[in-house]
Structure 1
Amino acid sequence: MHAEKGRLYGVSLGPGDPGLVTLNALRVLEEADSVWFPATPGQGGGRSSIALDILRSCGIDERKCRGIELSMSSDRSHAEQAYARSWLLMQEELLEQKSVAVVTVGDAGMYSTVTPILEHAAAAGRPYRIVAGVPAFLAAGAAAGLPLAAHAERLTILARVGSVDEIDRVLDREKGTVVVMKLSTVRDQLVPWLEKRRPDFFYAEKIGMPGEFITSRVEELCARTIPYFSLLVCSRYGRVASSVEGKL
């Protein structure tokens, strides 16, 4: 895949390890006239961006990189305004027949920061392409040495659940493996729930990033803050914890 002039691209960066950026994604990023990345504003006027860190590791020219500042808040109004402002600037570039790439950590088709921009593009009748990538839960399964599903087994994915009761309901209903992404929404409920339910599970955070952590032991989670980039894998097949403990 090559970056075409006047085309918008939603580009997946994978979970954090630059080695998991696909060849297609890297080619588009190198050829694009501008690369837009999500960033979180920090105190004192600075900002942080895992996406920008990955772009730097891939050798992408930082002079063509533009930040979309998104606060980590359940109030989406500020994010929607930031996306709208950024889209107007991207649209100007596209009208000038420039190629524009918007990146996301993980895969652009799953709970992605790219989605609002693609929605703006669709509403404006502007064509775009999505460059697929490696989602964090698959990278976590690989890091743990665990196939998440086999044969006719079911795999259910949840994200940003409002309560551990939602996880309970799915585990009670589905005879398979359940992945829960972005666990920070239930960080205060997670350990008590694991202690009570005792599911076959493993927990992972910051997969492919500095500070990567994987465990299947509840006691190792008691002092952890449970960040945004975290996930839980629970299974009814009884192989998760034993597999993880054998690899760590």
Structure 2
Amino acid sequence: MSPIVFVSLGPGEADLITLKGLKVLQTADCIFYPATILKEGAVSSRALDIMMELDIDPKKTIPFHVPMSKDRSPAIDAYNRVSEEAVQQYLLNLKVAIVAEGDAGFYSSIHYIFDTLVKQNIRVEHIAGIPAFIASGALAGIHIVKQEEELNVIPGIISASSLIDKINSGKVVVIMKVSQCQDAVKECISAIPTATFHYFENVGVKEKEYYTCDTQEIISRKFPYFSLMIIHQ
């Protein structure tokens, strides 16, 4: 049987998928993709938008709805249902793909599905992709790390004091989902005027990309969900 393949779509721009990932999507029999039901009832899916730009046959795409809540139990239930459906297709000897934005193995909640399948001894494969912070560096035209510099990639759940310590350690800091710690970040901007704060929103999404290193501009903004930051001391 063909393995269930986890395909990384990249940060949002369709052209940033790898050729290997694209070939898997083109030859797959069914493709599971994450979607979110908005408050007004509409369905939103960056993953589907990317696949439509790549001319992937919509007839073989299957959405799974991931509730956006701090309580992760509804989302985990959704991932468990996807795992069951994917195994059913796999046992029919179909070519199954599951897509994730960015890289499927880098801060991707899709790992719940991956881990579940591995525990069931289902053959799986992970195709690498471009994570959002790499695309952000390219957008800003900066070298994220140079020579012997060290990189510290952290989630958005961090206090101002901890973040200040990380910045002052001399390492380059990348914060994923920076909307979760925007007050801490704004406090750090005032506390460490020698640091450069590169702020990004919706990297890879046409007409929505935003980048600035103007600290006053950053302080005045409300950070959306799809935002991240690269900090150089």
Same fold (TM over 0.5): yes
1:11–1:102 Cα contact (<8 Å) kept: yes
- Structure 1's consecutive aligned runs of 4 or more residues displaced over 3 angstroms after TM superposition are none
The alignment's TM-score, normalised by the length of structure 1, stands at: 0.88
> Tell me, what secondary structure is at the counterpart of 2:55?
coil
Pairwise mapping of residues 200-211 of structure 1 onto structure 2 (< 5 A)? Answer: 200-210=196-206, 211=208
2:178 aligns to what?
Answer: 183
1:246 aligns to what?
Answer: none
2:49 aligns to what?
Answer: 53
Which of 97, 117, 125 lines up with 1:101 in the alignment? Answer: 97
CA apart distance, 1:122 = 0.7
1:32–1:100 Cα contact (<8 Å) kept: yes
Which of 214, 224, 229 lines up with 2:226 in the alignment? Answer: 229
2:75 aligns to what?
Answer: 79
Could you say if the C-alpha distance between residues 163 and 40 of structure 1 is closer, same or farther in structure 2, counting changes exceeding 3 Å?
farther
1:137–1:231 Cα contact (<8 Å) kept: yes
Residues in 2 aligned to 1:29 and 1:69: alpha-carbon distance in whole angstroms: 20
Deviations 1:77-101 (A, max 9, x none): 0000000111111110001011111
Query: How many aligned positions are there?
Result: 231
Aligned AA (1:224): R
Identity among equivalent positions (%) equals: 34
1:151 aligns to what?
Answer: 147
Residues in 1 aligned to 2:86 and 2:120: alpha-carbon distance in whole angstroms: 12
Aligned AA (2:132): A
Residues in 2 aligned to 1:169 and 1:74: alpha-carbon distance in whole angstroms: 27
CA apart distance, 1:40 = 1.2
1:179–1:231 Cα contact (<8 Å) kept: yes
2:160–2:184 Cα contact (<8 Å) kept: yes
1:201–1:216 Cα contact (<8 Å) kept: yes
Residues in 2 aligned to 1:195 and 1:221: alpha-carbon distance in whole angstroms: 11
Residues in 2 aligned to 1:170 and 1:188: alpha-carbon distance in whole angstroms: 16
* Unaligned segments of structure 1, at least 5 residues: 237-248
Residues in 2 aligned to 1:88 and 1:124: alpha-carbon distance in whole angstroms: 11
2:197–2:215 Cα contact (<8 Å) kept: no
2:152 aligned with 1:166: no
94-103 vs 214-223, which moves further: 214-223
